Amino acid sequence: MAVKGNPGDNRTRSSVSIIIVVGLCCFFYLLGAWQRSGFGKGDSIAVQVNKQTDCTLLPNLNFETHHNKENIPTDLSDSSVRTFKPCDDKYNDYTPCQDQRRAMTFPRDNMIYRERHCPPDEEKLYCLIPAPKGWVNPFPWPKSRDFVPFANAPYKSLTVEKAVQNWVQYEGNVFRFPGGGTQFPQGADKYIDQLASVIPIDNGTVRTALDTEGKYLMEVDRVLRPGGFWVLSGPPINWKNNYQAWQRTKEDLEEEQKKIEEVAELLCWEKFSEKGEIAVWRKRINADSCPGRQDEPRVKICESGNADDVWYKKMEACVTPYPEVNNPEEVAGGAIKTFPERLNDVPPRISSDSVPGFSVEKYHEDNNLWKKHVKAYKGVNKLLDSGRYRNIMDMNAGLGSFAAAIESPKLWVMNVVPTIAEKSTLGVVYERGLIGIYHDWCEAFSTYPRTYDLIHANGVFSLYKNKCKMEDILLEMDRILRPEGAVILRDSVDVLIKVKKLAAGMRWNMKMADHEDGPFVTEKVLYVVKQYWVGGTNKTAEG
């Protein structure tokens, strides 16, 4: 005989089953999220870490500029942390590896004294480089192209020494840059217009340019793309009309131009144009366009298999070979699209597998990842697209995807590829139409103090762990950052905690934020604003 069950019992069992199922779903969801985060040490530790890092939505970090005298803090020290004192005011313009006094102690042979010469550890300054008294933020772009506040570079000597050439004029409380110069007295704009009438600048074919003398044409050939242009303006071009103004003899200038023409021919460059003060040569697109160059006894082909391996290497008098091609019409190394299409197009070095570990798929992944990161940055710092930041540096640029994601006509990015990086990606940066440079962050960067408005540092401190002191890198960042400039540091939480503690004595306002994917991801972001302060009363330097 069947026994009829109690309806209330059935409802109770159903309710319990639903609760159990929902509970299990929640448990496994949280477990999966915990495992994907890579945290691996339990929620209690994650909560503790979040408390330590003070991750918030950064409501009190002000990215606006103020730079009034009333806002200069008088006492910014914190007794609980190491405080970095201001350097003596004589170091306002200190550029460690290009220090003129140090340079003059080196040999003149081959212009060695003009190369980088960085101070050893015992001579490094462990103090903060002050801005000149009265320093103000530069004018916004494009006004900053033509005007600079006198207080930011209070030196009138250049206006006297170069008065005839009209490079710079002192007007009231600003410097004005009319353009000037011997070669382009009507200004840089007119000069660029002349160039555009000869080479394809306007359509985006020519994106990156190197301003150089001429002297080391084999090195110019190394850095020049197949099909790229080399422009020479000034002596000896148009020497017949200008020799008196240059205070040189006709014979001397004629011989100089003859030598340039001979070297260009040896390099197999095509004479593209000579018009007025400007001469243009074009590098051939491949080795097949230069029949017989291999057999030319005066041309030595470089033996090194890596043309990018140039950091602190002696320059050789040899010609870098072209990459191989399959037919005479193919551009060696791969054809590049015009800008801005090339910014996100797959670079030839990636599509040809020339950079180990970076496939086309990985390239697209990297691009998408940095679009996501930059979107998060803009959510915190609303001024990123406003023109507030003109000069930006990416200290560990990788493929240049940060610069590509933040690309705007209102700003430009210096992409730095660390010399100790696992992969050399600088060539990819240039193929995307961006600019960049190699650098070792254990040394000072060769630039004037207060050059950059914003510095981005992704994984820099993890990369240089046990390579040099953390404060060496932080103080160099502070030196090249303008007052009230910003820094964005992305790294693992344990590294950023150390950075934050050390930087607390550097007159930086800081706030930690979670990764875009949530608090359980160990990678965090540290947002920084450098406080406004200037020199004028500082008379001591800490060595």
DSSP classification of residue 143: G
- 231 vs 75, which has greater pLDDT? 231
> Cis bond leading into 236, ω under 30°?
yes
Measure Cα distances from 100 to 88, 173, 220, 314 in Å.
17, 28, 26, 22
Average pLDDT over residues 418-427: 94
* 521 Cβ contact list (under 8 Å, min separation 6): 37, 38, 39, 514, 515
Residue 68 predicted with pLDDT over 70 = no
Greater pLDDT, 493 or 81: 493
Judge residue 417's burial from the number of C-beta atoms within 10 Å of its C-beta, 0-12 exposed, 13-18 middle, 19 or more buried: buried
C-alpha span between 309 and 316 (Å, rounded): 12
Report pLDDT for 11: 52
Report the 10 Å Cβ neighbour count for 46: 20
CB atoms within 10 A of CB 52: 13
What is the pLDDT, as a whole number, of residue 109?
82
Q: Are 280 and 273 in contact (CB under 8 A)?
A: yes
Q: What is the pTM of this model?
A: 0.83
Percentage of the chain surpassing pLDDT 70? 82
Q: What is the mean pLDDT of the chain?
A: 84
Contact predicate 230/210, CB 8 Å: no
- Dihedral sign, Cα of residue 198, residue 202, residue 207, residue 208: positive
Q: Apex CA 511: angle with CA 389 and CA 537, to 5°? A: 70
pLDDT higher than threshold 70 for residue 101: yes
Share of the chain above pLDDT 90, in %: 56
> Does residue 293 carry a pLDDT above 80?
no
pLDDT at 179: 72
Q: How confident is the model at residue 47 (pLDDT cuts 50, 70, 90)?
A: very low
Distances in whole angstroms, Cα of residue 381 to Cα of each of 286, 402, 404: 46, 15, 18
Segments making up each domain of the chain, as ranges: 208-322, 341-530
Which amino acid belongs to residue 404? A
Residue 145: half-sphere exposure toward Cβ, Cα within 13 Å: 9
**Is the model more confident about 195 or about 145?**
145
The superfamily in CATH containing domain 341-530 is Vaccinia Virus protein VP39 (3.40.50.150)
| Strand arrangement of the beta sheet that strand 174-176 belongs to | 147-149, 174-176, 169-171
Q: What angle do CA 342, 344, 350 make, to 5 degrees?
A: 85
Residues 440-490: tens digit of each pLDDT = 999 999 999 999 999 999 999 999 999 999 999 999 999 999 999 999 999
Q: What's the rounded mean pLDDT across residues 407-417?
A: 93
For 456, other C-beta atoms within 10 Å of its C-beta total 26
Q: How far apart are CA 539 and CA 87, in angstroms?
A: 7
Q: Is 352 strand, coil or helix?
A: coil
Tell me the mean pLDDT in the region 168-189: 77
The more confident residue out of 150 and 178 is: 150
CA distance 394 to 459: 11
pLDDT in the model for residue 183: 59
Structural contact between residues 253 and 243, judged by C-beta atoms closer than 8 angstroms: yes
Question: Which of the 8 DSSP states describes residue 313?
Answer: -
6-15, 130-139, 468-477, range with the lowest pLDDT: 6-15
- Give dist(CA 185, CA 312) in Å, integer: 37
CA pair distance 453, 391, nearest whole angstrom: 5
Sequential DSSP letters for 2-67: --PPPHHHHHHHHHHHHHHHHHHHHHHHHHHHHHHHT--S-HHHHHHHHHHHT----TT---S---
- Summarize pLDDT for 515-532 with one digit per residue, the tens: 999 999 999 999 999 999
Confidence band of 80 (pLDDT split at 50, 70, 90): low
Per-residue pLDDT tens digits for 205-222: 888 776 655 747 888 999
Q: From CA 482, how far away is CA 137, in angstroms rounded?
A: 8
pLDDT at 492 over 90: yes
Could you give the CA distance from residue 317 to residue 216 in angstroms, rounded to a whole number?
A: 9
The answer to which of 115-119, 159-163, 197-201, 202-206 has the lowest mean pLDDT is 159-163
Q: Lowest mean pLDDT: which of 270-279, 431-440, 478-487, 526-535?
A: 270-279
Any idea what DSSP says for residue 486?
A: E
What is the SS3 assignment for 106-137?
CCCHHHHHHCCCCCCHHHCCCCECCECCCCCC
Q: Would you say residue 24 has pLDDT above 70? A: no
Looking at residue 76, its pLDDT comes to: 36
- What pLDDT, on a 0 to 100 scale, did the predictor assign at position 539? 46
Helix (H) or strand (E) holding 432: none
3-state SS, one letter per residue, for 214-235: CCCHHHHHHHCCCCCEEEEECC
Confidence of residue 152 (pLDDT cuts 50, 70, 90): very high
